[in-house]
Structure formats: C-alpha cells, structure tokens
Amino acid sequence: MKNGIVTLALAGSIASALATIAAPEAFAADSKEKCYGVAMKGQNDCAAGKHDCAGKSIVNYDRMSFKLVPAGTCVSMKTPKGHGSLTPA
C-alpha cells in the first residue's frame, strides 16, 4: 500500500513539473504578432505577395513580409521606411 501511494505521489510530481515547463512555451506562441515592414532581407518569418516562405524576402523592410514580434510592439517599431504594420501593404 505504501509503494502505491509513493508511486502516485511521484507520478503527480512529475506531471506537475512537466506542465510547468510546457506552459510558458504555450503562452509564448500566443504572445507574438505578425508585423509587416520590419524584417530585414532574408529574415522574414513568412510571406505574402512575391514569395511564400520564411527567409525569402529579397529587400529590407518589405511591406508584404512579416516578422513575428512580441504582441503590442509592432506599430511602435520604427524603421527607415516608417513604422511596422499589422497588415500587409
């Protein structure tokens, strides 16, 4: 009987530890937003318009390519071509 309780307690502890480790990663994915016009050439996260893949942008600050940035920071990012945008140009 004691072995069963110890095993159950250990399993619960391991499950809690794994949940704690996994939780920040789940929230991190939700705390990003697409920011158009801020990516440097070849550093975009994905695309719209001229290309369809990450890293395919051929110009800096392409208004049709986005970079994932922390939520709430996009429109305050300033580039030589203006501020970041939440929508493609």
Do 48 and 66 form a contact (C-beta atoms < 8 A)? yes
Do 2 and 50 form a contact (C-beta atoms < 8 A)? no
pLDDT at 5: 63
- Percentage of the chain surpassing pLDDT 70? 61
Return the closest-CA partner of residue 62 out of 77, 84, 78: 84
The phi, psi pair for 23, rounded to 5°, reads: -60, -50
Tell me the whole-structure pTM to 2 decimals: 0.62
d(CA 50, CA 46): 11
Q: Output 87 or 22, whichever has higher pLDDT.
A: 87
Query: Is the pLDDT score of 24 beyond 80?
Result: no
Query: Is the pLDDT score of 75 beyond 90?
Result: yes
pLDDT at 16: 59
The phi, psi pair for 16, rounded to 5°, reads: -65, -40
How many other β-carbons are positioned within 10 Å of the β-carbon of residue 47?
19
